[in-house]
Structure 1
């Protein structure tokens, strides 16, 4: 007997939902592991175990038909041979080529420069009064270091953050934000097609390396720009969001800050707890390659399924007292980076940036003070637009 999925009639991409999503996620989880979102004609996976299982089952929950939450978004993003929206051997090849400089052993080459930049950044704000942490602090490392590692010419470096934000709007739905993102996304596409040539890239950069791999016969020429584009979207906005969450949660939870001061070995736990409780990418979609049963609900073939990472990361079945920021939770249990073959390639870089910043704060700051944040309104991202903060020595 086929049981229909319970329905949750809310606009996942409305301003109201984005500003305060947590009560929605709780109600969705209460309905079940699978809910039907009638306003978007999507299924949604809301609980941890169901979502983790689906992320690992890449043959059933496929990315090759697009990862946006509506048909138009998938049509637009697939039109440029999207590497993230791919499956099988092609996905494995693109991932192996793009992920190599982001693996832990490769990042050791840039660890010293990242740690030095973190030290200098924290020094600049200690005892200097209130500042907007998102603008002046959280964005500094991704924009000053990561953009150079990607290796674009000046116009590309100056616009990477804007392009990444537009891409996250586009893989939601084509509401006003999604529609406005189309033009920005087209600008990025034209830049990649017209300006990305070996001679325009920083020697030794990640993007220049892709051309070397093509020349060596390790990547098809038609996937050159696809591989390079994979460095644009995931390497900036999500890390900026997570840095904002990390400082905000430590400022709002002085007991956890005190514990971290006593036990700096918990830095990795604090970093990952910020990723869990703030979950930078709320949801990305998959399509079913076959009918599949999830906790008694049959999802039909070729259905669009929203992977609601932010909901699963607050599932009390896995995370006791899930709304509490707790730096002692097991690191990396959360699903913010995904699971399986599509797990975010930037996971190690994000952890390195955030851990370096937190170690620098621990060495210099006695008290973190934060005010009330304002939210960025983005279809996919959950991030602060502003966050008043002070670092007191």
Structure 2
């Protein structure tokens, strides 16, 4: 494939939004619209359907001279075949084989085996379901205190109901109440975590407004994050302390330890915030399902998984081919960027019956919201525990959930979530 020159972003190395003229040599369907245009980021599902309904498993996106997969099986195969579809060239639009990364690459997201193996094994042990039991009581109590406080706060009262913004008063508050302490942060400044995660996920995309608007303010935030990663900045009895002990035991190197802590701070907050908001949105949209959940609280786990399937917080990631590869009937060249639409795959009617419905009779296992394969989200048990604690507290104290006003999307190049989620709680 050959292309005309395009201007490069000095920060991410990604092409600017202005499309270049392309000479396409691979015969596949072409999607002329920009997946990173803000209307598509706010409401991606119509575009996802067009991608899935194309005449091939692969679609060409001329705006960025890349290829895309959106059907479930094609996305799953690309996720799991790290030998042919590398993460080491970056999981964003930038190709590290051609461009310098804007920061030291993540040892988890942006490395392949064997470099990926030791950091992955270390975090799998630290963040495993068994290890998380030490936090369950405290996290449960924190969720109950949060819900109790909301229900007794006179500022929220309107007649018998409680009105609030679930994003700013639950989804953001709760993870920031439990996760930074579990990581071992001790120095304050937690208000940096959400802007940092938001910028990091925006930077996986092109150099659009979402990136450039933050360039003047993100420097101190990144500096603060870096200051949280050394051993002496962290509580020894924490995830961060466990990471540094793994370095002492030579399971990882001392150079790797702060990068692994950084990975927790990058992906450990925003994704959970978006996931909890997704659950609350779909429960408010389906009051009969919330009533069923109160009657059958054992469905808490399924509720979270089904919400993640429908509203995957991480919508897209990239891979780069390591050789000439075959996807369906299409052959792609070596060193070619491929955009994986995880959110589209999770609504693929080839995999899911009534794929756009929130259905608690469905088995949502197999969804790709956490990825799949060697790079599957290592913190998924943390997200599940946090969401379960919030839902357990809600179903005990809240009889009904409904919208108090229309919700407002938060726009991000990679994530799908809500800026505002005005809800009305009916106390039990």
**The two structures share one fold, judged by TM-score above 0.5:** yes
Question: Pick from 52, 61, 67: which aligns with 2:76?
Answer: 52
Q: State the distance in 2 between where 1:144 and 1:224 align.
A: 24
Q: Match of 2:37?
A: 14
Specify which of 344, 357, 375 is matched with residue 409 of structure 2.
375
Counterpart residue number, 1:25: 48
Q: Structure 1 pair 184/167, CA: closer, same or farther in 2 (3 Å)?
A: farther
Pair 1:101–1:258, CA change in 2 (3 A) = same
CA distance in 1, matches of 2:117, 2:189: 27
SS in 1 for 2:167: helix
**2:135 paired with 1:135:** no
2:8 is matched with: none
Evaluate the alpha carbon distance shift between residue 159 and residue 321 of structure 1 in structure 2; reply closer, same or farther with a 3 A threshold.
same
Encode CA deviations 1:143-200: one digit per residue, 9 max, x unaligned.
1100111122435533111111110000111112223445666545534555543222
TM-superposed CA distance for 1:261, in Å, is 2.4
1:27 deviates by 0.6
2:134 corresponding residue in structure 1? 109
Q: Could you say if the C-alpha distance between residues 193 and 262 of structure 1 is closer, same or farther in structure 2, counting changes exceeding 3 Å? A: closer
Identify, as 1 or 2, the structure richer in helix. 1
- The equivalent residue for 2:358 is 325
How many angstroms apart in 2 are the aligned matches of 1:330 and 1:82?
Answer: 33
- Using the alignment, how far apart are the partners of 1:230 and 1:77 within structure 2? 16
- Residue 164 of structure 1: SS of its match in structure 2? helix
Alpha-carbon separation, structure 1, partners of 2:182 and 2:421: 27
Question: Which residue pairs with 2:382 in the alignment?
Answer: 349
Tell me the distance in 2 between the aligned counterparts of 1:359 and 1:185: 36
Name which structure has the greater RCO, CA cutoff 8 Å, separation 6+.
1
Cα distance in 1 for partners of 2:406, 2:225 equals 38
**Aligned counterpart for 1:385 among listed residues 419, 422, 425:** 419
The structure whose Rg is larger is 2
- Cα distance, 1:230–1:185 mapped onto 2, change above 3 Å: farther
Greater alpha carbon shift after TM alignment, 76-85 vs 234-243: 76-85
Matches within 5 A, 1:1-393: 4-31=27-54, 32-71=56-95, 75=99, 77=101, 79-83=103-107, 84-126=109-151, 128=157, 129-182=162-215, 186-194=219-227, 196-370=229-403, 371-393=405-427
Please give the alpha-carbon distance, in whole angstroms, between the structure 2 residues aligned to 1:106 and 1:216: 18
Structure 2 unaligned residues grouped into runs of 5+: 1-24
Q: TM-score, normalised by structure 1?
A: 0.94
Q: Against the structure 1 CA distance between its residues 17 and 358, is the aligned structure 2 distance closer, same or farther, given a 3 Å change threshold? A: same
CA contact (8 A) 2:196 2:222 kept: no
Q: CA 1:227–1:171 in structure 2 vs 1: closer, same or farther (change >3 Å)?
A: same
Relative to structure 1, the CA distance from residue 74 to residue 272 in structure 2 (aligned partners, 3 Å threshold; closer, same or farther) is: farther
Between Structure 1 and Structure 2, how many residues are aligned?
A: 392
Q: Quick one: distance in 1 between partners of 2:216 and 2:325? A: 37
- Aligned residues of 1:192 and 1:225 also touching (Cα < 8 A): no
Contact 1:51 1:312 in 2 (8 A): yes
Judging changes above 3 Å, is the alpha-carbon distance between structure 1 residues 354 and 89 closer, same or farther for their aligned structure 2 residues? same
Say if 1:103 and 1:77 are closer, same or farther in 2 by CA, change over 3 A.
farther
Q: What's the CA shift for 1:231?
A: 0.2
Distance in 1 between residues matched to 2:287 and 2:226, nearest whole Å: 49
Alignment check: 8 A CA contact 1:270 1:328 kept? no
* Cα distance in structure 2, aligned partners of 1:351 and 1:193: 27
RMSD of equivalent CA atoms: 2.1
Give me the TM-score of the superposition, normalised by structure 2.
0.87
